[in-house]
Amino acid sequence: MSSDNLLSTIAEYKLSSRLDEAIDLIKRQLHYSPYYYEFHYEIAGIYLLQNEFQEAQLHLERCLSINNKNTSSAILLDFLKNKDAYEVSNKSISVLFDYYADSFDEELTTTLKYKTPQLIADEISKRFPERQFKYMYDAGCGTGLCAESCKNLAESIFGVDLSMNMLKQAKNKSLYTKLSLGDITHELGRFDFKVDLITAADVFVYIQELKYFFQVAYEQLVQNGIMVFSIVSEGQEENSGRYSHNHKYIQSLADSYSFKLSSTSEQDIRKNLDKWIRGKIYILSKA
């Protein structure tokens, strides 16, 4: 089997919950081709999904020793070495959203009047009225609500999520060129072409330290590419277990990775009981 075929078989295994089989297949391949760094990167991603951080670290180190230009491995290694033990784990996020997937669209759009994907599309159209994007990376795509709202803005949409059941719902919408199971930082890092639009709707609330994603995003965006995301405004969701990131933090990350802040707007993003929750939509450009 060619390496491209193998990588797509592995992607299929991941999408059908056959993570152990994917690991076995990669291990067998690595036995014959131990210097194939893409396989080390791939298996590290699966170990990240399973919260097996030591194994993930070993393979990222191997990946980097074979190809020291692989910046994504270096960024993920930095993440693993500095990881806060109390950070919400990828595994618990996937369990949570696997459980909610079937009722997610109905619950969010009807009961909670969730508007973030549409607000993201509106902000992009307002700020860049004539622009047509080629490759959109929908980070934490969930059931595909962002693809629905942004479908006229981009030629191809790639979706990544930690939850298999959310991805199944997204697949039913038939709007994505490709869907992958994985962590948003790891999966973006493996793209062998650059994207011009990154969206992340209501995803950063599950990630405590955003610098790793910002770093990979900057690397993987074309010049003038944009990243559009939401955060929940401060003080809106206390004790919810979700992370609220303040403007100072976002601005400092943007500055660190040379992003230009193109626009920010504060809006009602969804309801909680009878009260509207306020959130912010950011557009950052790779200047």
Ligand X SMILES: C[S@@+](CC[C@H](N)C(=O)[O-])C[C@H]1O[C@@H](n2cnc3c(N)ncnc32)[C@H](O)[C@@H]1O
Residue numbers at the binding site for ligand X (CB under 6 A): 90, 93, 97, 116-117, 140-142, 145-146, 160-163, 166, 183-184, 201-203, 206-207
Which H or E run includes 223? Answer: strand 221-232
User: Which C-beta is closer to ligand X: that of 6 or that of 124?
Assistant: 124
- Looking from the CA of 151 toward its CB, the CA atoms found within 13 Å total 11
User: Which C-beta is closer to ligand X: that of 6 or that of 142?
Assistant: 142
In Å, how far are 122, 132, 228 from 188, measured between CA atoms?
24, 21, 15
Distance CA 160, CA 138 (A): 6
User: Which C-beta is closer to ligand X: that of 140 or that of 189?
Assistant: 140
Shortest spacing between CB 174 and ligand X, in angstroms: 16
Shortest spacing between CB 46 and ligand X, in angstroms: 13
User: Which C-beta is closer to ligand X: that of 46 or that of 146?
Assistant: 146
- Among 166, 179, 200, which residue's Cα sits nearest to residue 95? 166
User: Which C-beta is closer to ligand X: that of 6 or that of 162?
Assistant: 162
Pairing of strands 275-286, 259-272: antiparallel
Shortest spacing between CB 43 and ligand X, in angstroms: 17
Shortest spacing between CB 267 and ligand X, in angstroms: 14
Shortest spacing between CB 170 and ligand X, in angstroms: 9
Distance CA 40, CA 200 (A): 27
